[in-house]
A and B are shown apart, each in its own frame.
Chain A
Amino acid sequence: MSERPRVAVVGAGPAGAFAASQLLSGTGGPDIDLFERLPTPWGLLRGGVAPDHHEIKRLDQLFDRQVLRRPRCRFFGNVEVGRDVSHGDLMRHYDAVVYAVGAQTDKSLGIPGEDLPGSLPATDFVGWYNGHPDRRDLDPDLSGRHAVIIGNGNVAADVARMLTLSAEELARTDTADHALEALRESAVEEVVVLGRRGPAQAAFTSAELRELGHLEGVELVVDPAEVELDPVSEEWLASEGSFTARKNLELLREFAAREPQPDAPRRIRLRFLSSPVAIRGEERVEGVEIGRNRIERSDDGTLRARPVDEGPELLECSLVLRSVGYQAVPLPDVPFDERRYVLPNERGRVLSVESGQALPGVYAVGWIKRGPTGILGTNKRDAQETVRCLEEDLEAGALPRPPEPGADKVDALLAEKAPRAVSVDGWRAIDELEQQRGRESERPRVKLASLEELLAAAE
């Protein structure tokens, strides 16, 4: 029986990777088993970050070095906790379980027509072009000339770029082959990006916004009238606006002042103070009906977009991608805060819904802990907080030893319940094959994008 404590980290995205890295950083720490529902690690770093942002994807080398290459770490891909193995199974074999499962679904808009063919969550589209095996068959309809993206955060910006980048530029990225092919044939010429609030409250980072204004062959259209600030926003920007908000407005004004480029083959049009009211179409999406908003300060001091009484406007389009945020899904047998869509927790210690007391040995990190906010590095501080609690609890002897500790017990469990689990060697085989195919075609990698291909490569 092993003397060293054993910790299961569930989810090998950035939050799980940072948590595992923290737990593995000292010499006397616990042994780690890293569980992942997909055969491949790194979550949204692989399946979310846009293919043309390959610099950011280099973070996988840090994770590899600080997690998978550490001797006290094992990887079990293609094992879904809650389906293949249960929370109870983990509690029977580990001193502690750290949930890092993220927010796996999208928020809906709650408007008529949302489920018409041609209306999709942006997150599905992102998974599709990034080779997420669950999204391989999404088959988005790119046969129309107009697309509308609802929401103006960085996911919206990524999607707008992916819909307008030239085939040559896309061909240099690790965009999944099925998506490369479909995007090459795409008829989309104009992408409208809708923001509920005004230009001062745009959710893009200024880096992403700047990029939209410098795409080869793409005109970025911003209506000068839309970048005039209302008095509420003016005052807000001066008193509370972040450096990013001021930069965004500066950039938007610069873009609005540009000469029109009628010959540009493709166009991204940013619209503000506009909310979708309904998605229209008989059999499939034919357009989005939008209403105008104005910015008001609500009683609690925050800014709100309130509808103004103006007739709705119809934006004709055949593709609507909604990008208004991610949402977590509950895990079987683990407490869930139905209002905030997170595991109820205090600094990462998961709390019982009934008693409000910490459940010994259960922790959360990343989006399932704090909600879907922040950028990659945010998870590092988040993981430090959770791991500090876990280490304190271990040191204080607050965690009872599990009834059946021991790595071999876990092996036996997986042999029975998840016989096609992918080991670290399996992942390395996938990684090597993808990179080798990448070298052959001068791309960073060529992703295997179906579960069968991935498992075949791993085995």
Chain B
Amino acid sequence: MTYVIAGSCVKDDVCIEVCPVDCIHPKPGDLDFETAEQLYIDPEICIDCDACVEVCPVDAIFADHEVPEKYEYALDLNAEFFAEREPVS
């Protein structure tokens, strides 16, 4: 299981601050932070703790089995971001 971030993300970075396993990227200061249109959760690392969901001000984060239909694409999108990502610092 994992959580995923959908397209309504506004890059408010509170989720990054609360994530206990550092699985939300890019982070402020990373090379790809400014060009990123949203933040993404690394499904390989996410431990489904729910902390990010609690703090997201725009309800953009969902558990993978609860993703609304219109955001289903986000499951692959979050994984792809990390699969394609190059070193950032």
Contacts and interface: CB of A to CB of B under 8 A. Distances in A.
A111 B73 CA distance: 40
Interface string A48-73: 00000101101101100000000000
B10 interface: yes
B28 interface: yes
B35 A56 contact: no
B10 A61 contact: no
Nearest to A66: B57
B58 A59 contact: yes
B64 interface: no
A53 B60 CA distance: 12
B2 interface: no
Contact of B73 (A56, A59, A205, A210): A210
B59 interface: yes
Interface residues of A, number: 26
A56 B37 contact: no
Contacts of A53: 8
A171 interface: no
Nearest to B40: A243
Contacts of A25: none
Contacts of B38: 205, 207
B7 A58 contact: no
A105 interface: no
A214 interface: yes
Contacts of A380: 11-13
Nearest to B6: A207
A61 B12 CA distance: 14
A240 to B, nearest CB: 10
A1 interface: no
A244 B37 contact: yes
Nearest to B28: A381
Interface stretch (A181-189, A351-359, A361-369, A370-378): A370-378
A58 B57 CA distance: 7
A247 B11 contact: no
A242 interface: yes
Given A242-B35, A242-B36, A243-B36, A377 B12 contact: yes
A56 B84 CA distance: 27
B60 A376 contact: no
A201 interface: no
Interface in B1-31: 6-13, 28
A207 B37 contact: yes
A381 B33 CA distance: 12
Contacts of B84: 243, 246
A244 B57 contact: no
Q: Which of B7, B32, B34, B77 has the most CB of A within 10 A?
A: B7
Nearest to A206: B37
A377 B13 contact: yes
A56 B81 contact: no
Given A55-B59, A244-B37, A214 B70 contact: yes
A244 B35 contact: yes
A378 B11 contact: yes
Given A55-B58, A207-B7, A207-B37, A376 B32 contact: no
14 contacts: A55-B59, A58-B58, A58-B59, A205-B37, A205-B38, A207-B38, A208-B7, A211-B7, A214-B70, A375-B10, A377-B10, A378-B11, A378-B34, A380-B12
The 9 closest A-B pairs by CB, nearest first: A207-B7, A377-B11, A205-B37, A376-B10, A62-B57, A242-B35, A55-B8, A377-B12, A377-B10
Interface of B: 6-13, 28, 32, 34-38, 57-60, 70, 73, 77, 80-81, 84-85
Given A244-B36, A377-B9, 17 more contacts: A55-B60, A56-B8, A56-B10, A58-B57, A58-B59, A61-B57, A205-B38, A206-B7, A207-B7, A207-B8, A208-B7, A210-B73, A242-B32, A243-B36, A243-B81, A377-B10, A381-B13
